[in-house]
Amino acid sequence: MLLAAPALAGDPARGYAIASNRQLGACTLCHPGPFAGERIPADIAPDLRGAGARLDADQLRQRLIASPPDSIMPSYRRTDGLVNAASNRPILSDAQIEDVVAWLATLTTP
């Protein structure tokens, strides 16, 4: 069972807060994007601007939950293996995943 319950409606503002937080989502370590206050944007992963046009909500969710095995991107919701080493728990909760998906879905312009 990989997909989070669609009943959890994500909140884009909370999603942005998670994505831009260096301890939580830490997306800014790898991705450039519409992040306020990034003095030196990361450039080792695709720009997140336009991700909401390139991928639909299911694809975005799947990407966050279980990153492809050959990717350096962490799997944020998998419970087998790739988890937060400090807590031995998935990095993000189902609700937090939905928030990040909702935020990414708003990023429709490159």
Residue 97 interacts with ligand HEC (CB under 6 A): yes or no = no
Q: Could you identify the residue written with the tokens 């720009």?
A: 47
Q: Which is nearer to ligand HEC, 6 or 44 (CB)?
A: 44
Q: Choose which of 71, 79, 84, 108 interacts with ligand HEC (CB under 6 A).
A: 71
- As a whole number of angstroms, the distance between CA 3 and CA 58 comes to 8
Q: Choose which of 63, 77, 102, 105 interacts with ligand HEC (CB under 6 A).
A: 63
Site string for ligand HEC, 9-48 (x = CB under 6 A): ----------x-----xxx-xxx-------------xx-x
CB 110 within 8 A of CB 49: yes
Q: How far is the CB of 40 from ligand HEC (least distance, A)?
A: 15
- As a whole number of angstroms, the distance between CA 54 and CA 29 comes to 21
Phi/psi of residue 30, each to 5°?
-120, -35
Question: What torsion do the CA atoms of 34, 35, 40, 43 make, to the nearest 10 degrees?
Answer: -50
Could you list the residues that contact ligand HEC (CB under 6 A)?
19, 25-27, 29-31, 45-46, 48, 51, 54-55, 60, 63, 68, 71-74, 76, 100, 104
